[in-house]
A and B are shown apart, each in its own frame.
Chain A
Amino acid sequence: MVNGLHWKRPSVLPGFGLCMGFMLLYMGLLVLIPLGGLVLFTATRLSAAELWDRAIADPRVLASYRLSFGASLIAATLNAGFGLVVAWVLVRYTFPGKRLVDAMVDLPFALPTAVSGIALTTLYAHTGWIGRWFDPLGIQVAYAWPGIVIALTLIGMPFVVRTVQPALEDLEPELEEAAASLGATRWQTFRRVILPAVLPALLTGFAMALARAVGEFGSVYFIAGNMPYRTEIAPLLILIRLEQFDYVGATAIGVVMLVVAFALLLVINLLQWWSRRFQT
C-alpha cells in the first residue's frame, strides 16, 4: 500500500521521522560503518593474491575451515534430528515437568558461552561426569573434535526447536485424520504428511543453527584444545592473528567467514519466504 510517488504511506501517528532518524544514525554508526570498514580494509589493503594466500591457500587456515564447517554441519544435523523430537514431544505430549523443560530449551540463548564452555569441558574431560565413561573406551571427547561438536550442538539447539514448534502447532489435526481415514499408518502419515509440512521450518532452524555454529567462539574455545591443524577453529585463528597484530591475516579470514555468514543469512531469508508461500 505504498504510494507510487512517496516512499512512505502517510499516517497520523507521530514520531516516524524521529525514530527513523535515530534508528538509521545508531545502526549506521554501530553496525554499518564498522562492517563497511572491514570491507574497505579488504578492498584497499589486501591484494587478491594476498587474500588467496592468507585466507584460502594457507594449510593451517584450510584445516580450521574444515573443522569449523565440518563440526558445524554435524552439530546442525544432530540438532535437526533431536530438535524435531524435542519439538514434537513438547507440542504433542504431556508429561511431568514439561513447562520446565520447555523453558529450559532457551537456556543456550541466555547462558554465556564461556560458562557453557567450561561446564562442558569439565563434564566431558577424561575425569568428568560423562568423560570418564568414554575414557576406558579410548574415546577422547574434550580437547578433540567430538567435544567441538557437542559445544556447537548445545548453542544451536534452541534454533531448531523454536522454529519447528510453531510449525507443528499450526498443523491442522484434520490433515492427519484425513491421512488416517485414507488408510495411512502412523509412520506413513508422519513421513508423507507431517514431515513435508514442517520441512521448511526444520530447514530454517537447521540453517540458523549452522550459521550460529560457524561463528561460535566462546564455548568451543575451552573444549577444543586449540591445537593448530587439529582442533583450531577459524574464529580462533582470527583472534591469534590479531594478537600478533597481523591485521591483514585476520581480515582475510574474517572476510571469508563474513561471506559465508551473509550467504547463510540469505538462505535463511529465502527459506522463510519459501515457507510462507505455502501458507494459505
Chain B
Amino acid sequence: MGGNPASHACSVSPWGIAPTSESAWTRRLLIGTALAFLALFLFLPLALVFVVAFGSGVGAYLAALTEPDARSAIRLTLVTAAVAVPLNTLFGVAAAWAIAKFEFRGKNLLTTLIDLPFAVSPVIAGLIFVLLFGVRGWLGPWLQANDIRIIFATPGIVLATMFVTFPFVARELIPLMQAQGTEEEESALTLGAGGFQTFRRVTLPNIKWGLIYGVILCNARAMGEFGAVSVVSGHIRGHTNTMPLHIEVLYNDYQTTASFAVASLLALLAVATLVVKSVVEWKTARNQAIAAREVAEDDEGSGSRYPMDLSADPVGVHALACEPTLSDTQHAEA
C-alpha cells in the first residue's frame, strides 16, 4: 500500500512528443481526469468538514468541543488510544523482529494471519467480542455473576479498537526491517554489544521513521474507529461514546455544526498523519538513494575474477609473470 513518491520520473520531453510519451492534449486530459476525481472524492469532503465546522463562528465551534458530552467522548477516545496504540506498537515491533530478522517455517502463514483484521469487516470485529463477552455470549453469564462489564463499557471499546488497529505497526515495520538485513546487527554483536543494546543503538535508529508513521497511523485509526466500536459501545452518552460515536449522535440530532466541529478534530488528525507520512517517505527515499549510490559504487569495483571452469579449455586469461628461461630440463613432479 505504501506509495513511493521517490521516483516521479517524468518521461515528457520538453521538445515536443517523445516516442514514448503522449500528446499534450492527452496529457492534459489525463491530469484533468485524475484531479477532478480526487477533488470530488477527497478535497471537497475534507474542505466541507472545516467549512461547516466553522459555519456558525468560532464561538459555536469551541462551545461544541467543550460541552460535557464532547469532553467525555474526547477523554474516552484518548484513553482507548492510550491503551491500544502502545500494545499494538509493542506487538508490531516484536512481530517485525521475529519475522524480518529470522528464517523459520510458517512465516508466510504468520504474515497472512497478521493481515486478518484488515480483511474482516469492523462490524464483525465488534460481533466477535459480543459473542465472547455479551450477555448471551460464551463468558456473558460468568461476567454478569461477577459484575464485570466488558460490552457496553470501556474494556469492550478498547478490545474492539485493538483488534481493528492490530496490524498497522507490524505492517509498516516488516518490509522496512527486511530490507535492512541483519549485517548491522551482527556487526554490533561482534563488537561486544548485548541484545538490547543492539536493538536500541542499531536497529531502532534505522527503523525510527517507519515506526513513527506506523504508530501515528495506528493512532489515527484507533481514534477514528466507528464500526467495531459502534457494535460494542451501546451508545451511552457521556459514558461509552467515543468521538466518532459522538459525531453520529450529534449528526442524527441535527446538531450539524457541533457534529462537524468534533469531526474537524479527527480530520485534522488525519491530515497530520499524512504530513508525517510524507516526511517519512521523503526521509526513506533519501536513505534509499544513498544506499543505492553505495551499492552502485560497490558494484563498480567488484569485477571479480572467478576461477576457470575445470572442464573448460585451459587457454586462460591471465598468468603471473615469470620470466621463462631457456633451460631444457624437464621436471616431473608427482
Contacts and interface: CB of A to CB of B under 8 A. Distances in A.
**A contacts B directly (C-beta below 8 A):** yes
A25 B126 CA distance: 20
B251 A106 contact: no
A268 B119 CA distance: 10
B1 A110 contact: no
Interface residues of A, number: 108
A99 B140 CA distance: 51
A255 B182 CA distance: 42
Given A8-B105, A92-B10, A110 B247 contact: no
A118 interface: yes
Nearest to B115: A265
A2 interface: yes
Contacts of A161: 3
A218 B124 contact: no
Contacts of B217: 109-110
Contacts of A19: 94-95, 97-98
B121 A214 contact: yes
B124 A180 contact: no
B40 interface: yes
A162 B46 contact: no
A247 B198 CA distance: 50
Interface string A78-109: 00001001101111111100110111111111
Contact of A119 (B46, B113, B132): B46
Given A8-B103, A118-B259, A235-B227, A27 B44 contact: no
B49 interface: yes
Contacts of A218: 122, 226-227, 230, 244
Interface string B6-36: 0111111000000111110011001101110
B104 A130 contact: no
Interface in A109-157: 109-120, 122-123, 129-130, 150, 153-154, 157
B41 A166 contact: no
A94 B127 CA distance: 47
A20 B2 CA distance: 26
- Residue in A22, A115, A257, A264 whose Cβ sees the most chain B Cβ within 10 Å: A115
Contacts of B269: 110
The 7 closest A-B pairs by CB, nearest first: A112-B224, A215-B121, A14-B195, A217-B227, A218-B226, A119-B45, A8-B104
Interface of A: 1-2, 7-9, 11-16, 18-20, 22-23, 26-27, 30-35, 37-38, 41, 82, 85-86, 88-95, 98-99, 101-120, 122-123, 129-130, 150, 153-154, 157-159, 161-163, 165-166, 169, 173, 176-177, 180-181, 186, 189, 211, 214-218, 221-222, 235-236, 238-239, 242, 245, 247, 250-251, 254, 257-258, 261-262, 264-265, 269
Interface of B: 1-5, 7-12, 19-23, 26-27, 30-31, 33-35, 37-38, 40-46, 48-49, 52, 87, 90-91, 94-95, 97-98, 101-106, 110, 112-117, 119-124, 126-132, 134-138, 159, 162-163, 166, 182, 185-186, 189, 194-195, 198-199, 217, 220-221, 223-227, 230-231, 243-245, 247-248, 251, 256, 259-260, 263, 266-267, 269-271, 273-275, 277-278
